[in-house]
Copies of this chain bind each other. A is one copy, B any other.
Amino acid sequence: MIPSDVLDELRLMLGEGLSTGKSDLSLHGQSETWHAEMPPDAVAYPRDTGQVAAIVAICARHGIPVIGWGAGTALEGHGSAPRGGVTVDFRHMNAVLEVRAEDMLVRVQPGCTREDLNRELRASGLMFPVDPGANASLGGMASTRASGTTALRYGTMRDQVRGLEVVLADGRIIRTGTQARKSSAGYDLTALFVGSEGTLGLITELTLRLHGQPEAVSAAVCGFETTEGAIDAVILATQMGLTPARMEYVDTATVRILNAADGADLPETPHLLLEFHGSDTAVAEDAARFGEIAGDLGGSGYAWATRPEDRTRLWSMRHRAYHTILATRPGATAIVTDVCVPISRLGEAIARASADIDASPLDGPILGHVGDGNYHAILMVDRASPAEITEAKRLSDAMVAHALDLGGTATGEHGVGLGKLHLMEAEHGAAWDVMGAIKRALDPDGVMNPGKLVRQN
Protein backbone atom coordinates (compact mmCIF):
# COMPACT_ATOMS: atom_id res chain seq x y z
CA MET A 1 0.00 0.00 0.00
CA ILE A 2 1.13 3.52 -0.76
CA PRO A 3 1.04 5.90 2.21
CA SER A 4 -1.71 8.46 1.73
CA ASP A 5 0.66 11.42 1.92
CA VAL A 6 2.57 10.01 -1.04
CA LEU A 7 -0.66 9.61 -2.98
CA ASP A 8 -1.46 13.20 -2.09
CA GLU A 9 1.92 14.33 -3.37
CA LEU A 10 1.37 12.48 -6.65
CA ARG A 11 -2.20 13.79 -6.94
CA LEU A 12 -1.10 17.34 -6.34
CA MET A 13 1.16 17.08 -9.37
CA LEU A 14 -0.99 14.91 -11.65
CA GLY A 15 -4.53 15.98 -10.73
CA GLU A 16 -6.87 13.74 -12.71
CA GLY A 17 -3.79 12.04 -14.09
CA LEU A 18 -3.68 9.87 -10.97
CA SER A 19 -6.20 7.10 -10.61
CA THR A 20 -6.92 4.73 -7.76
CA GLY A 21 -10.24 3.51 -9.14
CA LYS A 22 -10.73 -0.17 -8.62
CA SER A 23 -11.45 -1.05 -12.24
CA ASP A 24 -8.44 0.93 -13.38
CA LEU A 25 -6.18 -0.86 -10.94
CA SER A 26 -7.62 -4.20 -11.98
CA LEU A 27 -7.13 -3.43 -15.67
CA HIS A 28 -3.47 -2.57 -15.07
CA GLY A 29 -2.94 -5.77 -13.10
CA GLN A 30 -4.13 -8.01 -15.87
CA SER A 31 -2.18 -9.83 -18.53
CA GLU A 32 -3.07 -10.93 -22.05
CA THR A 33 -2.39 -14.50 -21.04
CA TRP A 34 -2.56 -16.84 -18.07
CA HIS A 35 -0.82 -14.72 -15.44
CA ALA A 36 -2.84 -13.99 -12.31
CA GLU A 37 -4.05 -10.43 -11.78
CA MET A 38 -1.60 -8.33 -9.76
CA PRO A 39 -2.90 -4.78 -9.57
CA PRO A 40 -0.88 -1.70 -8.64
CA ASP A 41 -1.93 0.70 -5.88
CA ALA A 42 -2.32 3.61 -8.27
CA VAL A 43 -2.10 4.40 -11.97
CA ALA A 44 -0.41 7.59 -13.16
CA TYR A 45 -1.08 9.12 -16.58
CA PRO A 46 1.79 11.56 -17.13
CA ARG A 47 1.71 14.13 -19.93
CA ASP A 48 5.41 14.80 -20.29
CA THR A 49 8.89 13.62 -19.30
CA GLY A 50 9.04 16.06 -16.41
CA GLN A 51 5.99 14.42 -14.84
CA VAL A 52 7.47 10.96 -15.34
CA ALA A 53 10.69 12.06 -13.66
CA ALA A 54 8.74 13.56 -10.77
CA ILE A 55 6.65 10.39 -10.33
CA VAL A 56 9.76 8.24 -10.26
CA ALA A 57 11.58 10.59 -7.87
CA ILE A 58 8.65 10.59 -5.44
CA CYS A 59 8.28 6.81 -5.59
CA ALA A 60 12.03 6.27 -5.24
CA ARG A 61 12.12 8.41 -2.11
CA HIS A 62 9.54 6.14 -0.51
CA GLY A 63 10.73 2.84 -1.99
CA ILE A 64 7.50 2.41 -3.97
CA PRO A 65 7.61 0.26 -7.13
CA VAL A 66 7.18 1.95 -10.52
CA ILE A 67 5.90 -0.11 -13.44
CA GLY A 68 5.66 1.11 -17.05
CA TRP A 69 2.53 0.42 -19.14
CA GLY A 70 2.13 0.78 -22.88
CA ALA A 71 -0.72 -0.92 -24.72
CA GLY A 72 -1.03 -3.85 -22.33
CA THR A 73 -0.21 -6.45 -25.00
CA ALA A 74 2.75 -8.11 -23.25
CA LEU A 75 2.42 -11.88 -22.92
CA GLU A 76 4.59 -12.58 -19.89
CA GLY A 77 3.08 -10.34 -17.23
CA HIS A 78 5.62 -7.55 -17.76
CA GLY A 79 3.16 -4.89 -16.65
CA SER A 80 1.73 -6.55 -13.58
CA ALA A 81 2.49 -5.27 -10.10
CA PRO A 82 3.41 -8.21 -7.87
CA ARG A 83 4.61 -5.80 -5.17
CA GLY A 84 2.00 -3.10 -5.77
CA GLY A 85 3.19 0.42 -6.50
CA VAL A 86 2.46 2.97 -9.21
CA THR A 87 1.87 1.94 -12.81
CA VAL A 88 2.87 4.66 -15.27
CA ASP A 89 0.49 4.46 -18.22
CA PHE A 90 1.89 6.30 -21.25
CA ARG A 91 -1.38 6.67 -23.16
CA HIS A 92 -1.20 10.49 -23.14
CA MET A 93 2.45 10.50 -24.20
CA ASN A 94 1.70 9.13 -27.64
CA ALA A 95 2.85 11.85 -30.03
CA VAL A 96 4.92 11.54 -33.17
CA LEU A 97 7.30 14.37 -32.31
CA GLU A 98 9.35 14.71 -35.48
CA VAL A 99 9.74 12.92 -38.81
CA ARG A 100 13.15 13.45 -40.38
CA ALA A 101 12.65 12.05 -43.85
CA GLU A 102 16.18 12.71 -45.14
CA ASP A 103 17.68 10.92 -42.15
CA MET A 104 14.96 8.26 -42.24
CA LEU A 105 14.35 8.81 -38.54
CA VAL A 106 11.39 9.57 -36.35
CA ARG A 107 11.15 10.75 -32.77
CA VAL A 108 8.14 9.43 -30.89
CA GLN A 109 6.78 9.30 -27.39
CA PRO A 110 6.56 5.82 -25.86
CA GLY A 111 2.76 5.56 -25.89
CA CYS A 112 2.55 5.94 -29.67
CA THR A 113 1.53 2.61 -31.20
CA ARG A 114 3.15 1.13 -34.28
CA GLU A 115 -0.08 1.42 -36.26
CA ASP A 116 -0.53 5.07 -35.32
CA LEU A 117 3.03 5.76 -36.37
CA ASN A 118 2.57 4.07 -39.72
CA ARG A 119 -0.67 5.97 -40.32
CA GLU A 120 1.22 9.19 -39.67
CA LEU A 121 3.98 8.11 -42.07
CA ARG A 122 1.76 6.94 -44.90
CA ALA A 123 2.18 10.00 -47.10
CA SER A 124 5.92 10.26 -46.46
CA GLY A 125 6.94 7.17 -48.40
CA LEU A 126 8.49 5.82 -45.20
CA MET A 127 7.40 3.12 -42.81
CA PHE A 128 8.22 1.56 -39.47
CA PRO A 129 8.49 -2.14 -40.23
CA VAL A 130 8.52 -4.03 -36.94
CA ASP A 131 5.26 -5.93 -36.67
CA PRO A 132 4.60 -8.12 -33.64
CA GLY A 133 0.98 -8.61 -34.64
CA ALA A 134 -0.63 -6.75 -31.74
CA ASN A 135 -0.86 -2.98 -32.02
CA ALA A 136 1.71 -2.54 -29.27
CA SER A 137 3.12 0.77 -28.07
CA LEU A 138 6.59 1.61 -29.34
CA GLY A 139 7.88 2.12 -25.80
CA GLY A 140 6.64 -1.32 -24.88
CA MET A 141 8.10 -2.85 -28.03
CA ALA A 142 11.49 -1.35 -27.23
CA SER A 143 11.25 -2.50 -23.62
CA THR A 144 10.71 -6.12 -24.61
CA ARG A 145 12.98 -6.05 -27.67
CA ALA A 146 9.98 -7.08 -29.75
CA SER A 147 10.10 -8.28 -33.31
CA GLY A 148 7.50 -10.34 -35.20
CA THR A 149 6.93 -11.25 -38.79
CA THR A 150 9.23 -8.77 -40.56
CA ALA A 151 12.40 -9.12 -38.49
CA LEU A 152 13.94 -11.31 -41.14
CA ARG A 153 14.47 -8.38 -43.50
CA TYR A 154 14.31 -5.35 -41.22
CA GLY A 155 15.58 -6.65 -37.89
CA THR A 156 14.08 -6.42 -34.42
CA MET A 157 13.59 -3.42 -32.14
CA ARG A 158 17.29 -3.78 -31.30
CA ASP A 159 18.02 -2.71 -34.84
CA GLN A 160 15.51 0.15 -35.03
CA VAL A 161 16.17 2.15 -31.87
CA ARG A 162 18.77 4.82 -32.56
CA GLY A 163 18.45 6.65 -29.27
CA LEU A 164 16.33 7.01 -26.15
CA GLU A 165 15.37 9.44 -23.47
CA VAL A 166 15.13 7.54 -20.20
CA VAL A 167 14.05 8.46 -16.69
CA LEU A 168 16.34 6.60 -14.30
CA ALA A 169 15.41 5.08 -10.97
CA ASP A 170 16.43 8.24 -9.09
CA GLY A 171 14.43 10.54 -11.37
CA ARG A 172 17.40 11.72 -13.46
CA ILE A 173 16.72 12.11 -17.18
CA ILE A 174 19.34 10.87 -19.64
CA ARG A 175 19.64 10.66 -23.39
CA THR A 176 21.30 7.68 -25.02
CA GLY A 177 22.57 7.33 -28.58
CA THR A 178 22.59 10.07 -31.20
CA GLN A 179 20.79 10.81 -34.43
CA ALA A 180 23.76 9.60 -36.47
CA ARG A 181 23.59 6.14 -38.05
CA LYS A 182 26.39 4.77 -35.91
CA SER A 183 28.68 5.68 -33.03
CA SER A 184 31.65 4.21 -31.16
CA ALA A 185 31.40 6.68 -28.30
CA GLY A 186 31.30 4.43 -25.26
CA TYR A 187 28.95 1.82 -23.89
CA ASP A 188 25.85 1.14 -25.97
CA LEU A 189 23.31 2.31 -23.40
CA THR A 190 20.59 2.35 -26.03
CA ALA A 191 20.99 -1.39 -26.51
CA LEU A 192 21.10 -1.88 -22.74
CA PHE A 193 17.74 -0.18 -22.19
CA VAL A 194 16.14 -1.90 -25.19
CA GLY A 195 14.88 -5.18 -23.75
CA SER A 196 15.35 -4.13 -20.12
CA GLU A 197 11.56 -4.27 -19.54
CA GLY A 198 11.40 -1.13 -17.43
CA THR A 199 13.71 -2.59 -14.78
CA LEU A 200 16.44 0.04 -15.30
CA GLY A 201 14.34 3.09 -16.09
CA LEU A 202 11.32 4.31 -18.03
CA ILE A 203 11.66 5.19 -21.70
CA THR A 204 10.10 8.61 -22.33
CA GLU A 205 11.16 9.19 -25.93
CA LEU A 206 12.51 7.05 -28.78
CA THR A 207 14.42 7.90 -31.92
CA LEU A 208 13.63 5.14 -34.42
CA ARG A 209 14.97 4.20 -37.84
CA LEU A 210 12.51 4.29 -40.68
CA HIS A 211 12.60 2.39 -43.95
CA GLY A 212 11.31 3.26 -47.39
CA GLN A 213 7.91 1.83 -48.24
CA PRO A 214 8.73 -0.92 -50.71
CA GLU A 215 8.05 -0.10 -54.32
CA ALA A 216 6.58 -3.54 -54.81
CA VAL A 217 5.30 -6.25 -52.50
CA SER A 218 4.32 -9.78 -53.29
CA ALA A 219 3.00 -12.45 -50.99
CA ALA A 220 3.01 -16.18 -51.40
CA VAL A 221 1.78 -19.36 -49.77
CA CYS A 222 3.49 -22.68 -50.21
CA GLY A 223 2.60 -26.10 -48.80
CA PHE A 224 5.21 -28.72 -47.85
CA GLU A 225 4.80 -32.41 -47.16
CA THR A 226 6.94 -32.11 -44.06
CA THR A 227 8.13 -29.47 -41.62
CA GLU A 228 11.69 -30.40 -42.55
CA GLY A 229 11.00 -29.55 -46.19
CA ALA A 230 9.64 -26.15 -45.23
CA ILE A 231 12.62 -25.40 -43.02
CA ASP A 232 15.14 -26.59 -45.59
CA ALA A 233 13.56 -24.16 -48.04
CA VAL A 234 13.98 -21.37 -45.52
CA ILE A 235 17.64 -22.25 -44.94
CA LEU A 236 18.44 -22.49 -48.63
CA ALA A 237 16.68 -19.24 -49.45
CA THR A 238 18.63 -17.44 -46.73
CA GLN A 239 21.93 -18.89 -47.89
CA MET A 240 21.17 -17.81 -51.45
CA GLY A 241 20.82 -14.25 -50.25
CA LEU A 242 17.04 -13.96 -50.59
CA THR A 243 15.74 -11.60 -47.93
CA PRO A 244 11.98 -12.02 -47.78
CA ALA A 245 10.31 -9.49 -45.51
CA ARG A 246 8.31 -12.30 -43.93
CA MET A 247 8.78 -16.06 -43.88
CA GLU A 248 6.21 -17.61 -41.57
CA TYR A 249 5.55 -21.23 -40.72
CA VAL A 250 2.18 -22.71 -39.76
CA ASP A 251 1.86 -26.35 -38.79
CA THR A 252 -0.88 -28.72 -39.90
CA ALA A 253 -2.94 -28.12 -36.75
CA THR A 254 -2.88 -24.39 -37.41
CA VAL A 255 -3.83 -24.89 -41.06
CA ARG A 256 -6.81 -27.00 -40.00
CA ILE A 257 -8.00 -24.26 -37.67
CA LEU A 258 -7.51 -21.51 -40.26
CA ASN A 259 -9.44 -23.60 -42.79
CA ALA A 260 -12.30 -24.31 -40.42
CA ALA A 261 -12.55 -21.01 -38.62
CA ASP A 262 -11.10 -18.34 -40.88
CA GLY A 263 -12.11 -19.36 -44.37
CA ALA A 264 -8.69 -20.47 -45.53
CA ASP A 265 -8.64 -23.22 -48.12
CA LEU A 266 -5.23 -24.79 -47.75
CA PRO A 267 -4.14 -28.43 -48.03
CA GLU A 268 -3.72 -29.84 -44.55
CA THR A 269 0.07 -29.87 -44.45
CA PRO A 270 2.69 -27.51 -43.01
CA HIS A 271 2.88 -24.22 -44.92
CA LEU A 272 5.10 -21.25 -45.36
CA LEU A 273 3.59 -17.80 -45.79
CA LEU A 274 5.98 -15.38 -47.46
CA GLU A 275 6.23 -11.76 -48.41
CA PHE A 276 8.84 -10.10 -50.61
CA HIS A 277 9.65 -6.37 -50.63
CA GLY A 278 11.71 -4.45 -53.15
CA SER A 279 11.68 -3.05 -56.63
CA ASP A 280 9.34 -4.63 -59.16
CA THR A 281 12.23 -6.54 -60.69
CA ALA A 282 13.69 -7.63 -57.37
CA VAL A 283 10.36 -8.85 -56.02
CA ALA A 284 9.62 -10.83 -59.15
CA GLU A 285 13.11 -12.29 -59.15
CA ASP A 286 12.98 -13.23 -55.45
CA ALA A 287 9.54 -14.78 -55.76
CA ALA A 288 10.61 -16.83 -58.76
CA ARG A 289 13.80 -17.97 -57.05
CA PHE A 290 11.93 -19.01 -53.97
CA GLY A 291 9.56 -20.98 -56.18
CA GLU A 292 12.49 -22.93 -57.61
CA ILE A 293 13.84 -23.67 -54.15
CA ALA A 294 10.43 -24.76 -52.88
CA GLY A 295 9.92 -26.96 -55.93
CA ASP A 296 13.21 -28.75 -55.27
CA LEU A 297 12.20 -29.41 -51.67
CA GLY A 298 8.73 -30.82 -52.16
CA GLY A 299 6.83 -27.55 -52.00
CA SER A 300 3.48 -27.46 -53.75
CA GLY A 301 0.71 -25.03 -54.51
CA TYR A 302 3.22 -22.18 -54.59
CA ALA A 303 1.44 -19.10 -55.83
CA TRP A 304 2.26 -15.49 -55.39
CA ALA A 305 0.01 -12.51 -55.39
CA THR A 306 0.81 -8.85 -55.75
CA ARG A 307 -2.79 -7.60 -55.30
CA PRO A 308 -2.97 -5.65 -52.03
CA GLU A 309 -6.31 -7.21 -51.04
CA ASP A 310 -4.94 -10.74 -51.36
CA ARG A 311 -1.92 -9.85 -49.28
CA THR A 312 -3.98 -8.11 -46.65
CA ARG A 313 -6.22 -11.17 -46.36
CA LEU A 314 -3.22 -13.42 -45.87
CA TRP A 315 -1.53 -11.34 -43.19
CA SER A 316 -4.75 -10.49 -41.38
CA MET A 317 -5.35 -14.22 -41.14
CA ARG A 318 -1.81 -14.71 -39.82
CA HIS A 319 -2.18 -11.92 -37.28
CA ARG A 320 -5.57 -13.19 -36.16
CA ALA A 321 -4.24 -16.73 -35.85
CA TYR A 322 -3.56 -16.40 -32.11
CA HIS A 323 -7.15 -15.41 -31.43
CA THR A 324 -8.57 -17.81 -34.03
CA ILE A 325 -6.71 -20.64 -32.33
CA LEU A 326 -7.84 -19.55 -28.86
CA ALA A 327 -11.45 -19.40 -30.07
CA THR A 328 -11.39 -23.12 -30.85
CA ARG A 329 -11.61 -23.67 -27.12
CA PRO A 330 -14.07 -21.14 -25.73
CA GLY A 331 -12.99 -19.64 -22.42
CA ALA A 332 -9.43 -20.87 -22.76
CA THR A 333 -6.35 -18.77 -22.23
CA ALA A 334 -2.90 -19.60 -23.55
CA ILE A 335 0.60 -20.22 -22.44
CA VAL A 336 2.51 -19.15 -25.53
CA THR A 337 5.99 -20.57 -25.91
CA ASP A 338 8.60 -18.43 -27.64
CA VAL A 339 11.84 -20.32 -28.06
CA CYS A 340 14.27 -19.33 -30.78
CA VAL A 341 17.01 -21.66 -32.00
CA PRO A 342 19.74 -21.62 -34.65
CA ILE A 343 17.91 -22.31 -37.86
CA SER A 344 19.92 -25.47 -38.53
CA ARG A 345 18.33 -26.95 -35.40
CA LEU A 346 14.81 -25.64 -35.98
CA GLY A 347 13.56 -28.87 -37.57
CA GLU A 348 14.49 -30.99 -34.59
CA ALA A 349 13.19 -28.37 -32.14
CA ILE A 350 9.77 -28.28 -33.78
CA ALA A 351 9.69 -32.07 -34.19
CA ARG A 352 10.39 -32.62 -30.50
CA ALA A 353 7.85 -29.95 -29.48
CA SER A 354 5.17 -31.48 -31.73
CA ALA A 355 5.79 -34.95 -30.32
CA ASP A 356 5.61 -33.62 -26.75
CA ILE A 357 2.35 -31.83 -27.47
CA ASP A 358 0.89 -34.87 -29.26
CA ALA A 359 1.66 -36.94 -26.16
CA SER A 360 0.01 -34.37 -23.89
CA PRO A 361 -3.71 -33.90 -23.25
CA LEU A 362 -3.37 -30.23 -24.24
CA ASP A 363 -3.72 -28.76 -27.70
CA GLY A 364 -0.96 -26.51 -28.96
CA PRO A 365 -0.81 -25.53 -32.61
CA ILE A 366 2.63 -24.32 -33.67
CA LEU A 367 3.43 -21.34 -35.83
CA GLY A 368 6.29 -18.93 -36.04
CA HIS A 369 8.85 -16.72 -37.62
CA VAL A 370 10.94 -19.54 -38.95
CA GLY A 371 13.32 -17.36 -40.92
CA ASP A 372 14.56 -16.28 -37.48
CA GLY A 373 14.37 -19.76 -35.94
CA ASN A 374 11.58 -18.53 -33.65
CA TYR A 375 8.32 -20.42 -33.18
CA HIS A 376 5.37 -20.39 -30.84
CA ALA A 377 3.18 -23.19 -29.53
CA ILE A 378 -0.18 -21.82 -28.42
CA LEU A 379 -0.80 -24.12 -25.46
CA MET A 380 -4.47 -23.75 -24.61
CA VAL A 381 -5.43 -24.04 -20.96
CA ASP A 382 -8.35 -23.42 -18.69
CA ARG A 383 -7.20 -20.61 -16.42
CA ALA A 384 -9.13 -22.24 -13.57
CA SER A 385 -7.35 -25.57 -13.95
CA PRO A 386 -4.08 -25.76 -12.01
CA ALA A 387 -3.45 -29.17 -13.57
CA GLU A 388 -3.65 -27.79 -17.11
CA ILE A 389 -1.46 -24.81 -16.27
CA THR A 390 1.11 -27.13 -14.69
CA GLU A 391 1.05 -29.36 -17.76
CA ALA A 392 1.44 -26.40 -20.13
CA LYS A 393 4.35 -25.06 -18.10
CA ARG A 394 5.94 -28.50 -18.17
CA LEU A 395 5.67 -28.58 -21.96
CA SER A 396 6.96 -25.02 -22.26
CA ASP A 397 9.92 -25.62 -19.95
CA ALA A 398 10.81 -28.77 -21.88
CA MET A 399 10.86 -26.78 -25.11
CA VAL A 400 13.12 -24.20 -23.49
CA ALA A 401 15.48 -26.84 -22.11
CA HIS A 402 15.75 -28.36 -25.58
CA ALA A 403 16.24 -24.93 -27.18
CA LEU A 404 19.07 -24.12 -24.77
CA ASP A 405 20.72 -27.45 -25.59
CA LEU A 406 20.56 -26.44 -29.25
CA GLY A 407 22.24 -23.08 -28.65
CA GLY A 408 18.99 -21.11 -28.56
CA THR A 409 17.08 -18.88 -26.18
CA ALA A 410 14.02 -19.15 -23.91
CA THR A 411 12.44 -16.14 -25.57
CA GLY A 412 12.93 -14.83 -29.07
CA GLU A 413 10.67 -11.80 -28.78
CA HIS A 414 8.19 -11.92 -25.90
CA GLY A 415 10.66 -11.17 -23.14
CA VAL A 416 11.14 -12.40 -19.60
CA GLY A 417 8.56 -10.66 -17.43
CA LEU A 418 7.28 -13.00 -14.75
CA GLY A 419 6.74 -16.01 -16.96
CA LYS A 420 10.33 -16.69 -18.05
CA LEU A 421 12.13 -15.55 -14.91
CA HIS A 422 12.77 -19.09 -13.68
CA LEU A 423 14.60 -19.89 -16.93
CA MET A 424 17.16 -17.09 -16.87
CA GLU A 425 19.76 -18.86 -14.78
CA ALA A 426 19.70 -21.88 -17.07
CA GLU A 427 20.08 -19.67 -20.11
CA HIS A 428 22.70 -17.22 -18.89
CA GLY A 429 24.62 -18.84 -16.05
CA ALA A 430 27.02 -16.34 -14.50
CA ALA A 431 25.99 -13.72 -17.07
CA TRP A 432 22.69 -13.46 -15.22
CA ASP A 433 24.64 -12.27 -12.18
CA VAL A 434 26.18 -9.57 -14.39
CA MET A 435 22.66 -8.44 -15.28
CA GLY A 436 21.92 -8.34 -11.55
CA ALA A 437 25.02 -6.22 -10.91
CA ILE A 438 23.92 -3.74 -13.58
CA LYS A 439 20.43 -3.64 -12.08
CA ARG A 440 21.82 -2.89 -8.62
CA ALA A 441 24.13 -0.22 -10.02
CA LEU A 442 21.30 1.65 -11.76
CA ASP A 443 18.44 0.86 -9.38
CA PRO A 444 19.97 0.09 -5.98
CA ASP A 445 16.64 0.23 -4.15
CA GLY A 446 14.87 -1.99 -6.67
CA VAL A 447 11.97 0.35 -7.45
CA MET A 448 11.83 -0.15 -11.24
CA ASN A 449 9.45 -2.97 -12.17
CA PRO A 450 10.50 -5.21 -9.28
CA GLY A 451 9.98 -8.94 -9.53
CA LYS A 452 10.99 -9.11 -13.20
CA LEU A 453 13.99 -10.13 -15.33
CA VAL A 454 16.82 -10.24 -12.72
CA ARG A 455 17.39 -12.49 -9.73
CA GLN A 456 15.08 -11.49 -6.92
CA ASN A 457 16.28 -10.52 -3.47
Contacts and interface: CB of A to CB of B under 8 A. Distances in A.
Interface stretch (A13-21, A290-298, A428-436): A428-436
A166 to B, nearest CB: 8
Interface stretch (A64-72, A190-198, A219-227): A190-198
A90 B116 CA distance: 50
Contact of A179 (B102, B145, B192, B407): B407
Contacts of A101: 239
A238 interface: yes
Contacts of A214: 241
Interface string A185-223: 111110110111000100000000000101100000000
Contacts of A173: 430
A175 B435 CA distance: 12
A101 B342 CA distance: 11
A104 to B, nearest CB: 7
A454 B434 CA distance: 19
**Most chain B CB neighbours (cut-off 10 Å) among A168, A181, A373:** A181
A251 interface: no
A9 interface: no
A180 interface: yes
A288 B108 CA distance: 36
A175 B429 contact: yes
A435 B420 CA distance: 28
Interface in A297-328: none
A442 interface: yes
Contacts of A420: 185
A372 B181 contact: yes
